[in-house]
Amino acid sequence: MAPSFSWWNNTKDTHRGTPVVIKMENPNWSMVELEGPSDEDFLISESPGRVRGKNAKQFTWVLLLKAHRAAGCLTSIGSAMLGLASAIRRRVASGRMDTDADVEPHGVREVENPAVRSRFYFCIKMFLCLSVLLLGFEVAAYFKGWHFGPAHLQLEYLWASPFGVKGAFDWVYSKWVLFRVEYLAPPLQFLASSCIVLFMIQSLDRLILCLGCFWIRFKKIKPVPKEGSFDPETGETGYFPMVLVQIPMCNEKEVYQTSIAAVCNLDWPKSKMLIQILDDSDDPTTQFLIKEEVHKWQQEGANIVYRHRVIRDGYKAGNLKSAMNCSYVKDYEFVAIFDADFQPTPDFLKRTVPHFKGNDELGLVQARWSFVNKDENLLTRLQNINLSFHFEVEQQVNSVFINFFGFNGTAGVWRIKALEEAGGWLERTTVEDMDIAVRAHLHGWKFVFLNDVECQCELPESYEAYRKQQHRWHSGPMQLFRLCLPAIIKSKISIGKKFNLIFLFFLLRKLILPFYSFTLFCIILPMTMFIPEAELPAWVVCYIPATMSFLNILPAPKAFPFIVPYLLFENTMSVTKFNAMISGLFQLGSAYEWVVTKKSGRSSEGDLTSLVEKPKHQRGVSVPDLDEMKEEIRQQEQKVSRKKKHNRIYTKELALAFLLLTAAARSLLSAQGIHFYFLLFQGVSFLLVGLDLIGEQVE
């Protein structure tokens, strides 16, 4: 008969001394592995009458196995940390600071205003220094026995002393605690509560937009042209008005071929369409290449002209304004605008222009963007999440319910009469597209967004290019708001539309969003770690942001694995957006910075094949050879890859990284779990961005 053994659990949360009989085939001692308490909590013994004990040899092997696993884990962590440290060392050694000017082939491009940048960076740096000093002070107090909870608990240590004060350090720390309770905590809590209110209002707005999008999908609401103007089954239309196609570009030699080829292959009668290549390049080589490309297509029968301005005032708005002043423009009814990296499909005009027929109040038809490089790196994946939500939710919902949204500057068709009534293109801001849309809306024109009509383009693949693009996109609306506010108030549109323009379109989505994102998560949250009397609830730090990120990612379901990096990166970008918003609102120097977003010229073979397909109505028209186009693009990519790569080091992001990591260390003393993990991961996110370790490297 096999002997029986029993064990007793020595842990505090179970009944002591309750034996559990285990039948064993082998009378020798054996280790029993159980989940829960550690091995030391369990005593294995023979049946009553035998002495309890442990097999020393087997116990040693278990300890050795655990030590081996721990050593392997430490080795992996150590190698990862060494790799990260090596990457940081190389980046610091070879990178350029964001204070350095950008050297272009034909001169120096002005960057953000140095005075504005230095003031903003100085504030962050002083805040960082103060937090480091406070952390050292708090650590010293911790080792002296102070409690790190609310103020009354911290003062228990002092009041428990028979003399009231134990020493000079305790006296100083007690004064600091009383000072922050009396003077620092109330205003900080008020600011935190105000930001929470703004946060909840913005979250409610985001939720309402998502519900509107769900309603559109449920009801299958979709803009449809008037009957007879377009047949969706055959793709044919009997409506062929005069259309002007414009491609403004500036030193974009990586993408000019694909965009020109795409518009030259639009399925529209040649006699009803004129293509304008509006070249603002100051590089003679780029000018020559674009001019030769236009000449080549002219020989192939395309109705295309090349325009170059000698005086390049007003950036893109000035370029478009100059083109609209041509005498032949009066013969055209509509104008389609494409940026240099956009590649419309041949049926683009057939699917957009028919919406104007029989709808005299319609001023703009906007198509959706799609991206040829959305899976290129982590940065492009995160941008795709943002822009997918912008088009599918924001643009579509505003189009269906209020017939107004911001023009995206490209992949849209305007009624020329609407442009003229709104005052034409103006160079007063860096968001000329939003400017013309607001002015057209004030004159009563309606807009339509087509979510099922896509136009391919590129996303910025480097953080430097993306950062400058976002600066322009967030400083311009504040400039425009200052300029348009009197006109909005005096306009004859309804009160509801005025409320939508002022509060929702400008204040909530363009001003409040970057303000509370930066203030709440990058300033107030770290401060509450050093002033624990002012608190941020866990649902503000974790649950609501996670829910909003979940809603944002719904239009791009394949990006769900990136929901955490997306949340962290959006908070990281808040420093750039906040800086841009302040610059635009107060007309600081960097608000007028207009930098062309760098393109990589990525096109797949499928994209090139679609460009050289012959439209059915243009018989006898030949196009450039596909192999020749592919070979030219391959040679361009090889030239770019051979050039030396440089990276930037972004001082504001690095300063905020160390600030958040310092606050995370302080939260450990208070045992604030969710706050610690948020601050830790957010600090690491700022560190990676500050060292330019996200996205492709910049030439």
User: By the 8 A CB rule, do 178 and 561 touch?
Assistant: no
Tokens matching residue 180? 């922050």
Catalytic residue among 267, 339, 341, 433: 433
627 is a catalytic site residue = no
CB proximity list for 592: less than 8 A, separation 6 or greater = 430
Positive/negative CA dihedral, 547, 552, 555, 559: negative
d(CA 406, CA 510): 12
Kind and range of the H or E element at 397? helix 396-402
433 is a catalytic site residue = yes
Q: How many CB atoms lie within 10 A of CB 16?
A: 9
Neighbour-count burial for 589-624, b at 16+ CB within 10 Å, e otherwise: ebbbbbbbbbbbbbbeeeebebbeeebeebeeeebb
Q: Is 453 helix (H, G, I), strand (E, B) or coil?
A: strand
Place of tokens 């596909």: 626
Catalytic residue among 170, 267, 280, 341: 280
Positive/negative CA dihedral, 95, 97, 98, 100: negative
Query: Listing from the earlier edge strand, what are the strands of the sheet with 20-23?
Result: 20-23, 4-9, 42-46
Closest alpha carbon to 210 in 238, 466, 202, 115: 202
Closest alpha carbon to 505 in 486, 477, 473: 477
User: By the 8 A CB rule, do 422 and 364 touch?
Assistant: no
d(CA 679, CA 526): 8
Residue 97 dihedral angles phi and psi, to the nearest 5°? -75, 155
Tokens matching residue 417? 């009469």
User: By the 8 A CB rule, do 339 and 408 touch?
Assistant: no
User: By the 8 A CB rule, do 417 and 359 touch?
Assistant: no
- Cα distances (angstroms) measured from residue 35 to each of 5, 32, 325: 19, 10, 80
Closest alpha carbon to 241 in 265, 271, 261, 276: 271
d(CA 290, CA 253): 8
User: By the 8 A CB rule, do 334 and 348 touch?
Assistant: no
User: By the 8 A CB rule, do 275 and 303 touch?
Assistant: yes
d(CA 416, CA 419): 5
d(CA 686, CA 659): 10
Q: How do strand 648-649 and strand 446-457 relate by DSSP bridges?
A: unpaired
d(CA 648, CA 689): 10
Conformational region of residue 49, where left means phi above 0, alpha means psi within -120 to 50, and beta covers everything else: left
Just list the catalytic residues: 280, 433
